[in-house]
Structure 1
Amino acid sequence: MSKQSGAAGINPLARLKEIAFVKASDGTLNFGEVIEGKGTIPIKLQVGNKLYGQAKIEIKHGQKIKEEGYKSVVSFIEDVSKHYNEIWEQPDGRIMLVKRNGGSKIAVVELRKKKGEPFYGVTTAFPTDSGYPSRGGRKLRPGGVRTPSANPEQSAPLIYTAPREAQVEGAWRTGEVASTSTIPKPDEVVKGAGS
């Protein structure tokens, strides 16, 4: 029996490699989690091929990810999957996890099952401009904004309020922050400091 005996001439050994999971930095297969109702669903990365997973991301976006300062595609995906702060629903049923930090760092995931257990599989990931998530018919998921955290169970919805010292009339509009800090300005004399 030849190696090419799979359906449509697909090598079954190659297919097994494609669906294999990549390990995260902690040695597990979980790159992060998506909160769904009262539970969580793990985010996993498959080796994939030119259509999805690590292989696709390496081919299409690997260079740009390294230019952003990441040592690998895997480290980029793990960072976004653990520290995303927005979830956008796409018209195709996938969701986009977005880590805002200057521009946007994105991982697109799709709900899948393996042996009856659900997981979100990473289909693609890449850095892009901050406006990208809101284009293409995507909608911010209700409750899909959260405070980034390494532990999604400790995440809370992001509340758009300024710290007490920044709540000066109009300060938020100009980008200025009024501070009650006791740290002296560079040209200020500090009382009680000996020369």
Structure 2
Amino acid sequence: LHGTGAFAEALPGIDVDRLRSRFLAVHVRHATLSQNQGLAFSHPLWRNSAGHQWYMMHNGFLPTIYRQLGLAESRFDSEEYLRYLVDQTTPADFTRDYLRAKMAQVEPGGSAGNAIFVTRDKAWAWQWYPHDTPWPDYFTMHFQQQDGCTLIASEPVAIPGSAGNWRRMNNHELYEIPFRE
């Protein structure tokens, strides 16, 4: 499902009980800027870099990231964020220290760079917001391990049969999810 309609309208047509996958991502997006609405701006975004196909789903707003790419203006901050972080980078180099160093170069003005990055062999959940944000709770991601499954969410969700052991991610935390056979 990749489109512009309301998720609530699409959900009844999805047979959730039949889904079988090593990795499932659900990203519901609300565009911060009205000009960034439509299919061209829907997630996941993808980019081929250094011989690797990268996918990303981003929550937050990074209106100054385009400057790190030498662009005169921003077209779509999420696409520019993906490009900024993965261009000429391999999955082996995609570490917490690498991401912290890259984000330290970004000019102030953004709300958050929370994202899920995915390659063929691994996924990463990256928690980032400026230290001076007035809304750290709003921009905090959560994760839970349950029955051999890793769950990542912007907000803890009630899951039937679950004890609800969600843990808040720390700011600048990178959580790796390797895909195993």
The TM-score normalised by the length of structure 1 is 0.29
Rg larger for: 1
Identify the structure with bigger relative contact order (alpha carbons < 8 Å, sequence gap 6+). 2
1 or 2, which has the higher strand percentage?
1
